[in-house]
Structure 1
Amino acid sequence: MTLHITKVAVGCTELDTLRARMEGRADDGETYLVTRFRPKRESELVGGSVYWIIKHRLVARQEILGFTDDPDGKRCRILLSAELRPVRAHPKRAHQGWRYLPAADAPPDLGGAEAEGLSALPGAMAAELAALALI
């Protein structure tokens, strides 16, 4: 069964900020995030996703492609697809580092027109609508 992880998008107040940050790291259709500890269940995570938390909500995901050591040798890089997919906003408390997320608890992706319409909303408005469980 596929396993996912959650991670707080520190310093990001909206999805566009996270998208710009990840595009800055993108190289050849891949990007990465650095973590101090390599997940013990890494084989279950390949093919899963990192679900990003912004303002106490899961808002987007990126597919996990693999793991490698960081050049400094002290950390682990989680290799990700460069594509950031919006998901149906789901409440999630902030935490340090990353946490496992079972596939059954992962929110669904937003569909084409639905995702385009929501991405056009200002971040504050989208957050208010999500808080009211309208999106």
Structure 2
Amino acid sequence: MIHMVKLCVGISSFEELESYRNERAHWWGADYGEDVHVHRTRMMPKRAAEMEGIASIYWVIAGSIVCRQPILRLAPYTDAEGKDYCDIIMSPELVRTIPYPKRPFQGWRYLEPKDAPPDIAANDAENSVEIAAELARLGLL
């Protein structure tokens, strides 16, 4: 298994991402007729078989990985001009993680499971996020 990490461009917080998640599929014109979220990216991962149904996309917001979304499957897409893309079809569920600092990069990157930040329990999310963000800022996490 291998995860994916991607910058969440134009989004400044987990709450903002949460508010947009129901609109994202419509931005790409991608409607798979089910309750999923879609993000379109230029390249199909070569390790797609290691992701579909078992991995997550970890979102980097404001310089830190702050949440993940389970990847259900990856689908090829070709636009009207003949350009190939990859639709990352994800569960609508956003899972908060302990914030881990991540420098900017282009596109997406693979993320080994051993390097993925742990989830934060839903009932501890508010306090844990603040504490973990402060520890990460201090370089202790």
Q: Which residue of 1 aligns with 2:69?
A: 62
Deviates more, 1:77-86 or 1:110-119: 110-119
Letter in 2 for 1:10: V
4+ runs deviating over 2 angstroms: 25-29, 116-119, 125-130, 132-135
TM-score, length basis structure 1 = 0.83
Give the aligned CA root-mean-square deviation in angstroms. Answer: 2.4
Residue 38 of structure 2 is aligned to residue 37 of structure 1: no
Unaligned runs of 5+ in 2: 26-32
Query: For the structure 1 residues 129 and 24, does the alpha-carbon distance in structure 2 shift closer, same or farther, using more than 3 Å as the test?
Result: farther
2:123 aligns with one of 102, 113, 116: 113
Q: Distance in 2 between matches of 1:126 and 1:110?
A: 10
Q: Which residue of 1 aligns with 2:6?
A: 7
Q: Which residue of 2 aligns with 1:131?
A: 137
Percent identity of equivalent pairs: 40
Q: Distance in 2 between matches of 1:13 and 1:24?
A: 16
The count of corresponding residues between Structure 1 and Structure 2 is 130
8 Å CA contact 2:98–2:128 kept in 1: the answer is: no
Unaligned runs of 5+ in 1: none
